[in-house]
């Protein structure tokens, strides 16, 4: 039996679907719909049962109402089959009125999209980091006051904060133009609270960091990704390396696992019993050649 025990919660973290008009390809080469559908097909085929699916923004590429309708048609039936609730987060490519009406069945207003969702004792706070008409992020003073009030009462299993613009530096210098501004104000609100992790998107590549002493996990995009070795002052989008994250919440830790969208060729496949047999066979050989520890893989 694992020394860590079973996780208390299992959450899926996806980001940046960038849906476009029906029949069109994103940047004339990326089928955003097919990529997302492939993720859910694989999840169902492998028997995954997450409690919730969090989409951290840029759900549509230019905020078209039709894009949200099509996104919902793919996600909600799959989520129902998986037994998961869906949590939508605004991104800078999204439009608040269409987002609200198309995904939340609410009035198409320009109000900030902030909410609190209980997932069997785990609190997920959705924070709208967008600034209408711009691509950088900002949390308003009103939002910060609201967030401080919510966090004043701890949740039974702690809190995950989900927002589009992650409060992390980027290896791509050009992305400083569209980063989250005034991050120190958010840090002041989060310090000393029960927030156990921050989920973000926006960057189109997977990365991790800490913010105000809290682990931050950025999910890559399901549409296209950024070449992190593109060079100074350059953004190079690529149709490859798409991924999503699995988030397993334990009593004393949170585990983030990056899963590529594309499936690769099998090198070998081994059950638990066979793995133990292989380890047992390797141990005598390693002792013979002067090592007391055999590798597990």
The pLDDT of residue 1 is above 70: no
- Close Cβ partners of 252 (under 8 Å, ≥ 6 residues apart): none
The DSSP element (H or E) to which 16 belongs, if any, is: none
> From residue 268, how far is each of 130, 272, 273 by CA, in Å?
45, 13, 15
pLDDT recorded at residue 215: 98
Mean of pLDDT values over 199-211: 98
Confidence of residue 23 (pLDDT cuts 50, 70, 90): confident
User: If you search the block for the tokens 């980063």, which residue do you land on?
Assistant: 179
Confidence of residue 287 (pLDDT cuts 50, 70, 90): low
> What would the two tokens of residue 284 be?
């005598």
The pLDDT of residue 235 is above 80: yes
69-74: Cβ within 8 A, 24+ apart: 69/102, 70/19, 70/22, 70/33, 71/17, 71/19, 71/36, 71/102, 71/103, 72/102, 72/103, 74/33, 74/36, 74/37, 74/40
pLDDT recorded at residue 146: 98
pLDDT recorded at residue 118: 98
pLDDT recorded at residue 110: 97
What is the rounded CA–CA span in Å between residue 18 and residue 63? 9
pLDDT recorded at residue 21: 87
pLDDT recorded at residue 22: 79
Q: Are 181 and 202 in contact (CB under 8 A)?
A: no
Q: Note the pLDDT tens digit of each residue in 25-64.
A: 899 999 999 999 999 999 999 999 999 999 999 999 999 9
Q: Note the pLDDT tens digit of each residue in 115-140.
A: 999 999 999 999 999 999 999 999 99
What is the rounded CA–CA span in Å between residue 6 and residue 71? 32
């Amino acid at each position: 039996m694992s020394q860590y025990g079973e996780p208390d919660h299992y959450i899926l973290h996806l980001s940046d679907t960038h849906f476009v008009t029906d029949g069109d390809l994103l940047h004339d080469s990326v089928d955003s719909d097919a990529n997302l559908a492939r993720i859910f097909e694989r999840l169902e085929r492998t028997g995954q049962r997450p409690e919730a699916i969090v989409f951290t923004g840029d759900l549509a590429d230019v905020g078209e109402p039709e894009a949200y309708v099509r996104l919902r048609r793919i996600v909600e039936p799959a989520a129902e089959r998986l037994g998961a609730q869906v949590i939508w987060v605004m991104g800078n490519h999204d439009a608040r009125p269409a987002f609200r009406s198309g995904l939340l069945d609410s009035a198409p207003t320009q109000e900030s999209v902030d909410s609190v969702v209980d997932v069997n004792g785990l609190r997920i706070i959705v924070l709208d980091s967008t600034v209408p008409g711009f691509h950088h992020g900002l949390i308003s003073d009103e939002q910060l006051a609201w967030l401080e009030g919510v966090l004043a009462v701890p949740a039974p299993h702690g809190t995950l904060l989900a927002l589009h613009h992650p409060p992390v530096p980027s290896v791509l210098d050009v992305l400083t133009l569209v980063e989250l501004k005034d991050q120190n104000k958010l840090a002041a609100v989060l310090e000393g609270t029960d927030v156990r992790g921050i989920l973000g998107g926006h960057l189109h590549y997977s990365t991790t960091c800490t913010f105000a002493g809290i682990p931050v996990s950025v999910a890559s995009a399901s549409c296209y990704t950024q070449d992190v070795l593109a060079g100074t002052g350059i953004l190079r989008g690529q149709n490859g390396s798409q991924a999503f994250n699995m988030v397993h919440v334990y009593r004393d830790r949170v585990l983030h696992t990056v899963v590529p969208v594309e499936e690769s060729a099998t090198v070998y496949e081994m059950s638990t019993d066979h793995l133990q047999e292989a380890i047992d066979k390797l141990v005598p050989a390693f002792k013979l050649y002067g090592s007391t520890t055999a590798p597990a893989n």
